[in-house]
Amino acid sequence: MNGPLTALDWLGLLHPVLAILFIYPVAGAAIRLGILAREKRTGYNTALPETVPTEHWQHGRWLVSAMVVASLIAYLESFLRHGADGRSGVLLLAGIGTVVALLALWRVQQPALRASFTGLCLAGLLGLGAQPQIERLADLPWQADFWRSHYWSGLLLTALLLMSLAIRPLIPQISRLRRLHVSAMLLACVLFAVVAITGCRDLLSGMALSPLG
């Protein structure tokens, strides 16, 4: 790139910077606390403090929130760079609605409400990501580019984290949900690696024009 960075360039850097400085460190802490929480629950390590499970889900809540915010920041950069085709008001409302749904998920406890706000948050991300200004490589699973898309791997990762956050109050009570949560987080660990690799690839190739694309 020739010349100094513009304000839009700096905005575009917020997405990877947030991932490096916050998302991945918090993810590592959440994974470690999850392992300790399981050891505490199974009695493998009874010396662990009672606060471990709480600290685990609190880190998870900050993690999924940061994922959503990082995605919205990158959406915003892409819309500003490529234009919003006269739909800036609608896109802004969709972004605000996504944030409101995420904040509501922080507070509500009823399973039906948590599921509803999780769906609304994910729908907002999907709706914004479906815009033509967002680079997605491919949209169909039978296309090879779909499976190497930073956007789709990141969106799936965010969806898994949102799902785990939605069922969090029920996980200690229902063993089937605990197994589902563990399985989802094992897949999430793989996706964290995929997202990191594809994100670096897109930055190096000059393709970093989308939140996860």
- Cβ-based neighbours of 95, under 8 Å, separated by 6 or more: 72, 75, 76, 124, 128
Mean pLDDT of 78-103: 88
Query: How far is residue 36's CA from residue 56's CA, in Å, rounded to a whole number?
Result: 9
Q: 206 pLDDT band (50/70/90 cuts)?
A: low
Let me know how long the chain is.
213
- In a domain, residue 82? The reply is yes
Q: Is 73 in contact with 18 (CB distance < 8 Å)?
A: yes
Residue 124 pLDDT > 60, yes or no? yes
- In a domain, residue 209? The reply is no
- In a domain, residue 70? The reply is yes
- In a domain, residue 77? The reply is yes
Other Cβ atoms within 10 Å of 209 Cβ, number = 16
- In a domain, residue 14? The reply is yes
pLDDT in tens, 41-63: 888 877 888 899 899 999 999 99
- In a domain, residue 211? The reply is no
Q: Among candidates 77, 71, 124, 79, which has minimal Cα distance to 100?
A: 124
Looking at the 3D structure of the chain, how many domains does it have?
1
- In a domain, residue 72? The reply is yes
CA 79 vs. chain centroid, Å, equals 19
Q: 88 pLDDT band (50/70/90 cuts)?
A: confident
> Rounded to whole angstroms, what are the CA distances from 27 to 20, 23, 62, 162, 203?
11, 6, 9, 14, 22
CA 101 vs. chain centroid, Å, equals 14
- In a domain, residue 212? The reply is no
**Range of the structural domain that residue 171 is part of:** 7-204
